[in-house]
Structure 1
Amino acid sequence: MAQSQGWVKRYCKAFCKGFFVAVPVAVTFLDRVACVARVEGASMQPSLNPGGSQSSDVVLLNHWKARNLHVQRGDIVSLVYL
């Protein structure tokens, strides 16, 4: 019985360490480097979401290019109103 409690305690300790390291890293990555967004509607057709309202595309938004102003003709830019 004591052995099984020791395993659970070690597992919980390792999980908490991993959680408290992974969450800040993930939040920083999604805020500063890139994030995932879903494109819905007809505004970007035919390049994105060619099926119309029945389907949606998932895109990776690169924050570095916009932050460093390395945007070129043909790039898709997403604006967020805060």
Structure 2
Amino acid sequence: MKWLSWHALEEVIKGCLWSIPITITFCDVIGTVAKVEGYSMSPTVNPKAGTNVDLVWVDRISLLFKDIRRGEVVVLACPYNKNRKLIKRVVALEGDHIWSRTESRLTYIPLGHCWVEGDEGDKSTDSNQLGPIPQALIEGRVSFIIWPWKRWGRIPQVPQGSSENRLIPSKVV
């Protein structure tokens, strides 16, 4: 009987030793579920104050195959706090010019950078305060709302309050 207990424990340990690295690799390379807190991306994500937080799917692998495009919602490492993640919409890409929301200044987006904003501009810390963000900080695309069920579906790629009147796109797309 003791052999059976030891054998069962040994199988559980072997299973963990295989599943933990596979799970970590999946989350680092393929994608993961993320909890969204705050209202800077309202109404796209967390549309109502005081409600439960949204859960979203963060697609990491597509960054290897497709360039970031204007209008996409992305997860990025916070430029001023490496332990924090931000969810923002890409508004401008390298080579573009954009008028900031706050200071009405025209900003050129340098090579390897992008301009990100929250959909709820007055509640968002974004490129309007931080300037162009290195694209290397982008960790994935937010592609689906998973929870709550009643809002399950794709994230819209076109911002609710479009920034087209502030954007001067580069000739090369």
Q: TM-score range by the shorter chain?
A: 0.7 to 0.9
Query: Take 1:80 and 1:69, find their aligned partners in 2: how far apart are those partners?
Result: 19
Which segment drifts farther, 43-52 or 20-29?
43-52
Cα offset, 1:41, TM superposition: 1.3
In structure 2, runs of 5+ residues without a counterpart are 83-173
Q: What is the aligned partner in structure 1 of residue 61 from structure 2? A: 64
Q: What is the aligned partner in structure 2 of residue 49 from structure 1? A: 46
Which segment drifts farther, 10-19 or 48-57?
48-57
Give the TM-score, by structure 1 length: 0.81
Which segment drifts farther, 42-51 or 16-25?
42-51
List structure 1 runs of 4+ shifted beyond 6 angstroms. none
SS at 1:78 equivalent: strand
The structure that is helix-richer by fraction is 1
Note if 1:37 corresponds to 2:34.
yes
Aligned Cα root-mean-square deviation (Å):
1.7
Cα offset, 1:70, TM superposition: 4.3
Note if 1:13 corresponds to 2:10.
yes
Query: Take 1:53 and 1:75, find their aligned partners in 2: how far apart are those partners?
Result: 26
Query: Take 1:76 and 1:59, find their aligned partners in 2: how far apart are those partners?
Result: 11
1:22 partner letter: S
In structure 1, runs of 5+ residues without a counterpart are none
Percent identity, please: 28
Give the TM-score, by structure 2 length: 0.42
Cα offset, 1:47, TM superposition: 1.3
2:13 partner letter: C
Which segment drifts farther, 38-47 or 23-32?
38-47
Task: Tell me how many residue pairs correspond in the alignment.
Answer: 79
1:47 partner letter: T
The structure that is strand-richer by fraction is 2
Cα offset, 1:62, TM superposition: 0.2
